[in-house]
Chains A and B, each alone.
Chain A
Amino acid sequence: MKYYENSTIFQFNWNQVAHAFWQRYPNPNSTHVLTEDTISRKVKNGILHTTRLLTKTNRVPKWGERLISKNVVKIIEESTVDPKTKTLTTYTRNLGYTKVMSIVEKVVYKVCEENPNWTVAKRSAWIDSQVFGFSRAIQAFGLDRFKKNCTLMYNGFNYVLAHMFPHTAQYMNPSLSQMGFAHLIDEGIKTSLAEDLQHSLQGKAEKVKDAAKKATDLAKKRAGTIYAAYQPEQS
């Protein structure tokens, strides 16, 4: 299991961030996000609890076809919003295929201590795989990918925020606002790292191919084992 965490600051107040969180999709660059549904939602002890189901497309790499037959990834997003303490917590996990890969991401958005008009996001991620012969490669790829996407995610959320709150955006630190728009045209908006990672792990796992190739001979011998290990996830 790999663990990773980082913190980022948004130059928007917490209410704006909380508001924008529900309006991440659709956007022109999130075509891989297919659906978004609210499964349950309730206010309990002053805190809003929500569970959502997201689906995304994925491309299955050749070597993964034996493991994964479907081309849609389902993601469960649990969240709590506490308006009193101004805390938004999100917790996402992939549904099914958890033996092949399990990616859990937790993000806590709070008022920035240095500037009450800003919001700090503390992100933690747990990346795991239990596929014999592949787990290390998948985990390493996942972690690398996750780190690279931190900047993308940060810029993406800034883009969404800037469009929702242009008045606030005009007071943003110029270098920050520049950064917030630079990557977007090419890279698209990635508002949840875990979702992106969950997507990319299945979709772009060809990148692991090199590492996986070394394991191919072994994997072929053990294909029966892998398949058996994977079966419970399919049924």
Chain B
Amino acid sequence: MNSIAETCNNLKREYDGCFKLWFSEKFLKGDLDDSMCSNHFKLYNQCLQQAMKDQNINIDEVNMAHLGTEQEKKTED
């Protein structure tokens, strides 16, 4: 799957590949250490943050957490 910025595609692909492996082979098996892909993520994220800035994406709105906060909508049960 492509990144929002073409320039980040390669870095994203490398990170995604690492994450898939980590998620199924480590995390789901109880290994909570998430350092395995952190270098990949750092590089990809640097590229992505710049791209979001360039594309005038409201980063505050993106980063504002809703899930697990007061912002989260309540189910009617």
Contacts and interface: CB of A to CB of B under 8 A. Distances in A.
Interface residues of A, number: 41
B58 A95 contact: yes
B46 to A, nearest CB: 12
A96 B62 CA distance: 10
B4 A78 contact: no
Given A38-B15, A80-B67, A23 B61 contact: no
A79 B19 CA distance: 15
A35 B27 contact: no
Interface in A19-56: 19, 22-23, 25-26, 33-43, 46, 48, 51, 53, 55
B61 A96 contact: yes
A104 interface: yes
Contacts, number: 97
A51 B62 contact: yes
A34 B2 contact: yes
A48 B24 CA distance: 13
A106 B73 contact: yes
B43 interface: no
A78 B66 contact: yes
A79 B34 CA distance: 16
A83 B28 CA distance: 6
17 contacts: A23-B20, A36-B1, A37-B3, A37-B48, A38-B19, A39-B62, A40-B45, A41-B41, A42-B34, A80-B68, A83-B28, A89-B67, A91-B66, A95-B61, A96-B61, A106-B73, A124-B75
B28 A18 contact: yes
A165 B44 CA distance: 29
Given A26-B1, A51-B63, A53-B62, A15 B28 contact: yes
What DSSP secondary structure best describes chain A's contact surface? Answer: strand
Contacts of A23: 20
B76 interface: yes
A113 to B, nearest CB: 16
Nearest to A43: B34
A90 to B, nearest CB: 8
B31 to A, nearest CB: 10
A180 to B, nearest CB: 22
B24 A19 contact: yes
Nearest to B57: A74
Contacts of A81: 27
B72 interface: yes
Contacts of A93: 66
B75 A5 contact: yes
Nearest to B47: A37
Contacts of A41: 19, 34, 41
